Chain A
């Protein structure tokens, strides 16, 4: 059978899945956790605590402040040491809360995570949950999209009036090179994932779900196909041809359904809701175990790292601890990336905390850290061929460079999903995406300004 994939553009970077067969290893809880209130797209959560308060692991520490926002919970038991400005790994200053565990707290927490969690709701009770109850559980647990975009999951399950979805697509594509966290999770918790998918289907009021997995993970495809067939015939596991950026929401919907999300519209316009596979698992944990989103699976990897692996990490853990767990930072490290090499962010500070959207930590040696030298554009068209949105990256980058914002808008610069395929494919190593980002921010601001003057 010919495997499906998206039709426009795409690239094939080296997969480098060094940790593809590594099981998930639980990481030691930190003694001190720094938790930013803004770990998701939307308004930062509002802090509920003050200095000196004590919290238990899993307690709510900040509540969603608006429709597009998410609750934040404490990953460890302890005392609030301070509430102040901290720096995220990407270098942004943001409000954070620091929780410090006493020896007794640390021992009690460590003991509780080492034993199997207590079941809060059994299969029958999960089955009895109404869509509204599931949405409420997702909201309470502070679940956001764990693929990296961190869009609050509750919002995606609450489509705008008049719009309905007919399909739930579970994004288990993991098209970023190096990352294997979703792969490892699928191998470890297939039953739980399927249960989470069923709850998401019920909450989204759809009768069909597709778990989309790239064909480079045959073991996960076989396992989930088997489990899904036993539990729920409405769930199909669909292998996809390996191509980047297949995990992009628009590309994935097109690959699975053949429908294209119109320019500027939400995925629901194509009748689809997309959720990450790790999100589905988090929904199961929230519903079955009553556990909010306080940890996640992260791939810590890199060509020179001694013990690359997939780790279950408490949010708020300093990134430095993850690297130590993976064998310590190699001597010739040049760059540390949060996420994968195509869309991840290079970070400034190793002391910054783990957040909800961190799917991987990639450590690159110095010789891979710097970009190759920029050369003149030879108009080869590779960027046009690579662009999965059917744009002309060379053109919109040049228009941005020369501040021709109206022309850039007319050439659909706002459709760019910043997947990086153009910059990757450019044989002259031109900073194509950098200029497009510059253009997007200016054009986006102009569009918003226009929207506020409706009569013009």
Chain B
């Protein structure tokens, strides 16, 4: 041994987790939902997903490389993840050019304008989705029907979502087959339809400790209790309108959710309440995206006022 010793402050060992492993684990957790979407919505789902991911990755690459002059951050997987999550929030017959606009807004405005990974206040994929929802309301609310559109893309047969039909009074709660909602046999955006697939992803994220239970469980419990207390069907509310997708994959985004468990629970409860309020009394049949974005905006405040339990606050015996 003739080289010099490395000297650094403790600790000298480090977790094997890395930022990119976390991102890739979320991507893996999305695979069941994506496969489900590809199965029910066919080629359109594949095209939308590919366009969204490509759009996000290229936008991030161009901005980091040529506007910021930084090393490319593509390898950490976060742009790919944003692309997948954006795709999950879109209908499968959305034209490619609209998907690309969504991707550019998601990464360019939602993420990079704040300084890139870790700096954004709002969930980039939801920024992209809501931008599209407001800009292209017609295209964003025509939902291809499942199973019948395997080889159709632009000319897909469309229909309304369950929440949309309920809101318009076209159908009743009793008309809805819960089993269809569980397996994905329902209209809606790509990633929201296969509840079982989403729950498989949730279990994977919990087992790999990418996320904790606090946010998803508090959202789902709040939506269930609140909708039950006002006479809506808790099961339908929970299984519809991207609630599971939002609770498991969107609201748990590290960057835009609170830091401590107490804060996470408050954040989840508020998302649940806002979602039900929008669904029941608002103009839109679905409120999840708005609820998450609103609470993203409150996250810094939650972090400021909701603190973890400090050691030494409790001095009496257990």
B residues 1-51 near A (Cβ < 8 Å) are: 1, 3, 5-15, 17-19, 21-22
| Among candidates A8, A348, A370, A380, residue contacting B309 with C-beta atoms closer than 8 Å | A8
| Closest-CB distance, B121 to chain A (whole angstroms) | 11
Q: Does B317 contact A (CB under 8 A)?
A: yes
Query: Are B5 and A346 within 8 A (Cβ)?
Result: yes
Q: Does B312 contact A (CB under 8 A)?
A: yes
Query: Are A347 and B7 within 8 A (Cβ)?
Result: yes
Q: Does A291 contact B (CB under 8 A)?
A: no
Query: Are A392 and B11 within 8 A (Cβ)?
Result: no
Inside 8 A of A389's CB, which chain B residues have their CB?
310-312
Inside 8 A of B12's CB, which chain A residues have their CB?
335, 337, 341-342, 344, 346, 362, 364, 368-369
A contact patch SS: loop
Q: Does A434 contact B (CB under 8 A)?
A: yes
Stretch at the interface among A121-129, A200-208, A231-239, A420-428: A420-428
| Among candidates A257, A343, A370, A390, residue contacting B311 with C-beta atoms closer than 8 Å | A390
Q: Which of B11, B15, B259, B313 has the most CB of A within 10 A?
A: B11
**For the complex, what is the distance from the CA of A384 to the CA of B311, rounded to whole Å?**
12
Q: Which of A257, A269, A342, A428 has the most CB of B within 10 A?
A: A428
Chain B residue at minimal CB-CB distance from A261: B312
**For the complex, what is the distance from the CA of A381 to the CA of B263, rounded to whole Å?**
11
Inside 8 A of B307's CB, which chain A residues have their CB?
390, 392
Q: A379-B255, A391-B308 are in contact. Are A341 and B1 (CB under 8 A)?
A: no
**For the complex, what is the distance from the CA of A276 to the CA of B308, rounded to whole Å?**
30
| Closest-CB distance, A302 to chain B (whole angstroms) | 11
Query: Are B18 and A427 within 8 A (Cβ)?
Result: yes
| Closest-CB distance, A29 to chain B (whole angstroms) | 25
Inside 8 A of B316's CB, which chain A residues have their CB?
259
| Closest-CB distance, A443 to chain B (whole angstroms) | 16
Q: A379-B118, A381-B254, A390-B310 are in contact. Are A424 and B259 (CB under 8 A)?
A: no
Q: Does B83 contact A (CB under 8 A)?
A: no
Q: Does A307 contact B (CB under 8 A)?
A: no
Q: Does B167 contact A (CB under 8 A)?
A: no
Q: A427-B22, A434-B9 are in contact. Are A333 and B17 (CB under 8 A)?
A: no
**For the complex, what is the distance from the CA of A158 to the CA of B18, rounded to whole Å?**
47
B residues 242-272 near A (Cβ < 8 Å) are: 254-261, 264
Inside 8 A of A368's CB, which chain B residues have their CB?
12-13
Query: Are B7 and A376 within 8 A (Cβ)?
Result: no
**For the complex, what is the distance from the CA of A250 to the CA of B212, rounded to whole Å?**
26
**For the complex, what is the distance from the CA of A2 to the CA of B312, rounded to whole Å?**
24
Q: Pull 25 A–B residue pairs with CB atoms less than 8 Å apart, ordered by A.
A: A13-B15, A254-B311, A259-B317, A260-B311, A260-B315, A269-B315, A333-B5, A334-B5, A335-B7, A341-B13, A342-B12, A348-B5, A362-B12, A369-B6, A371-B8, A371-B14, A378-B254, A381-B264, A385-B261, A387-B308, A392-B307, A412-B310, A415-B312, A427-B17, A437-B9
Ranked nearest first, the 7 interchain pairs of A and B with the lowest CB-CB distance are A258-B318, A420-B11, A376-B118, A263-B312, A369-B6, A380-B254, A390-B310
